[in-house]
Structure 1
């Protein structure tokens, strides 16, 4: 099968492309290799994918509509997985324009290119952040998600709305994947696990926001990729909902939480890092940051209805694997 993946220099895109290539699929990767974080890490991911003869790398920005359309046409892809985006809740407060440009304009370009290409299934990355100010736990796909508390979340909610419109107007089967706190080897340097490990190895204190009382539905990268791969052949069909389904009544469009469904205290995550590193963290307790929800928890009923039991790696194992990768990659 031929698959077009945006964001293959990124954390999730790299892992997905590798999994698909290992399974014998042809993958065309599209990525802007932006400098939001260390470009050397992105280049290293792409270097690993370049070892596969069935991988084609295209470097370009989503904002370049002509290149994006041409690349998608040339890939002759059966399935599109759109993962590229400007990520990060806190950075969206500092650099809002990059989110508008990439997540809204760029994603609109992707949808327009996909409309012309007519894929069998478009899978589109969203985020648990769209649940915003919701206080009902766990978060369910049928819950309203109309109170974003960060611009990042607002742009992703906008993506969901645009994708629904395209699915309705052009009968394009689309699944929005709401990811919950993904972590693991090759992860992003702006995320807590990466920052905590780097600081602790250098003997620096770590900032614990929300006074350590935050909970996150941590999702190990291999578990996430397994779920995506299983969802890929399950294109939504208009008028054929499952029980409790988020399937739109007017479009082949579905929203799915992708997570383990077992939220953990942030401090338990820190203890897993301490165990993996064999050293104690010096913690600076901080108030909750603007744009961050205190808790996230995924209702995975729909995910399990679609793909069966959800693979779940314990945080102790997942964190240890990240630490092993970090030590090897950085030679520490």
Structure 2
């Protein structure tokens, strides 16, 4: 397992600032209708008929052998270690974070539903790595309160690293219900269990840079407005931040949100541009590169996985204890949100050029105008708050990070495995 610049210039359109109430109304309308859709139209049977994602099912858990595995995985081996429940542990970020926690002596138990949003073999491969590190992953869904309560009965977790989510901006146009199911209903279910746990755990969870939406002020700061989501995915992540505020205010849960900026690296997600660009370039297929209005450059603040992991651990290490007991708030609890980016937005055309050099293959470029599918033209993180609070400082530039990714990709898919066909 491979775990170990300067800002791009681009054009921005001047946008007329909306009336303050309009974007808020739009956001809450999206959230309201999303919840209504989930509750009244997205029945269990309709989930099971959805071939693009595995349905929620009843998982086998419990029993002496199962509890022994959970306790063994949760065993703390360092003097100042903590016990952490990691949701989405077989995912890209979740697997890297779980391994980093375990290697430094923390107790770690993972949970993942192994859905087939992308090639399930990648998740199974990550699971094998985790098992070799001593991390047990429970196959289950965060929407299953019985399972979550059982896990807290077996292990009094001090922390939760909540990384489970339905990711991807474009997929929301195909399957909107899955975003409400995972990113809103799943988060609420997890918080409901955590509020009643004794002791209440401190929670660090993944928000997203997508919450900045149509904001044109750069770099993006945590103090900037986030009420203009450009996609349903962004709206569900923004809703998560509001939900976190509510549970912190009412129940005294300690909550830290992390806004990730375009995370990439080995064992990454196949739906990310750098991943499928690599696949298509090697196969001689053309790749589509989007451009903004008036041929404006599309740029991303690409952040290498190792830097994201250090940010996650820094946030967890500085998370204060929750203050509730018996489901009731006993005092003011910590509530934070941080940007975790690289501070160096790079044009997507430069990303492709780097891949061409590393792969030694010329890409067949097809330049198109950016469609209205929820994507934004640029992202750029201001990380001064995270740097101040826990010394977050990214160290991997895009050239170095992509070199590590390409090495992993070639080794992984040349070892008897096939890319998503």
The two structures share one fold, judged by TM-score above 0.5: yes
Q: How does 1:1-332 map onto structure 2 within 5 Å?
A: 1-53=82-134, 55-117=135-197, 118-210=199-291, 213-235=297-319, 252-289=334-371, 290-308=373-391, 310-331=393-414
In structure 1, list runs of 5 or more residues that go unmatched. Answer: 239-249
- Decide whether the 8 Å contact of 1:257 with 1:298 is kept in 2: yes
Would you identify which runs of 4 or more consecutive aligned residues in structure 1 move more than 6 Å?
none
Residues 164 and 251 in structure 1, CA contact (< 8 A), matched pair in contact too: no
C-alpha distance after superposition, 1:15-42 (max 9, x if no partner): 0011111112111001000010000110
Q: How many residues align?
A: 320
Cα RMSD over matched residues?
Answer: 1.6
The answer to whether the 8 Å contact 1:58/1:71 transfers is no
CA distance in 2, matches of 1:79, 1:195: 34
Q: Within 2, Cα distance between the matches of 1:143 and 1:293?
A: 16
Cα separation, 1, equivalents of 2:170 and 2:392: 33
User: Mean alpha-carbon deviation: is it higher for 250-259 or for 294-303?
Assistant: 250-259
CA displacement, residues 185-244 of structure 1 (integer Å, 9 cap, x when unaligned): 000000001100000111111111226711111100001101111121212589xxxxxx
Q: Match of 1:241?
A: none
Contact 1:2 1:25 in 2 (8 A): yes
Shift of 1:111: 0.8
Higher radius of gyration, 1 or 2? 2
- How many Å separate the matches in 2 of 1:56 and 1:37? 22
1:265-288 deviation digits (Å, cap 9, x = unpaired): 111111111111112111111221
